[in-house]
Structure 1
Amino acid sequence: METVAVQKNHKLILNNRKAGLVTGVLDVLSFNLNEILLETEQGMLMVRGTDLHVNRVNLEKGEIDLSGNIDSISYSDIHSTAKQAGSLFEKLFR
């Protein structure tokens, strides 16, 4: 029997580059005032800007709310398999 991986939905809603809602979040790997690194159903998501804040995290629902001055959003198809992978992604996105 062949197992097919079912990919869940992922949504990114951004309002005026100041506030956002992200769904399909598996984990928050790191965040500070300049970068937020998330593992999502669609791969790694890096949000960069200034004065960034994670306002609400609900990993049971896979949702986060963020705010700040958002300059860029980028994806990587690599998925984290362990917590130590966070340091690898930090190096990749610098």
Structure 2
Amino acid sequence: MDERNVSKPAMRGHKLVLNNRTASLVTGVKDVLSFDLNEVLLETEQGMLMVKGTDLHVNRLSLEKGEVDLSGNIDSIAYSDVHAEQKQGENLFARLFR
């Protein structure tokens, strides 16, 4: 088999849209690692994305399309370059605060 014909997963673009700090659309999402009313942790094409706030809700999730719609009171958004598959043996907090 010719190695050049082996298809790699296509890298999707990543976009973050924030409306009035109460609604957000995120594209290029690979996985949702955790979520609760105060924090949502996403693995995106551009690294780990942590959204913090109050009364946060995941309104729509489509991993096939790589899209997540969030709502609530968004206080902060932070990226980390660490990807989940690179550090599977470490716990979540060790990866984020390295």
TM-score (norm 2): 0.80
Poorly superposed stretches of 4+, deviation over 6 Å: none
Identity value in percent: 71
What RMSD in Å do the two structures reach over aligned CA positions?
2.6
Unmatched tracts of structure 1, length 5 or more: none
1:32-72 CA-to-partner distances (Å, cap 9, x unmatched) read 00000000000000000000000000000000000000000
1:66 & 1:13 partners in 2: Cα distance?
Answer: 10
- The structure whose Rg is larger is 2
Aligned residue for 1:81?
85
Deviation, 1:8, is 2.7
On the 8 A contact 2:82/2:96 being kept in 1, the answer is no
Aligned residue for 1:47?
51
Query: Is residue 38 from structure 1 mapped to residue 10 from structure 2 by the alignment?
Result: no
Query: Is residue 69 from structure 1 mapped to residue 73 from structure 2 by the alignment?
Result: yes
- How many residue pairs end up in the alignment? 91
Unmatched tracts of structure 2, length 5 or more: 4-8
Residue identity in the other structure for 1:43 = G
Aligned residue for 1:16?
20
On the 8 A contact 1:39/1:45 being kept in 2, the answer is yes
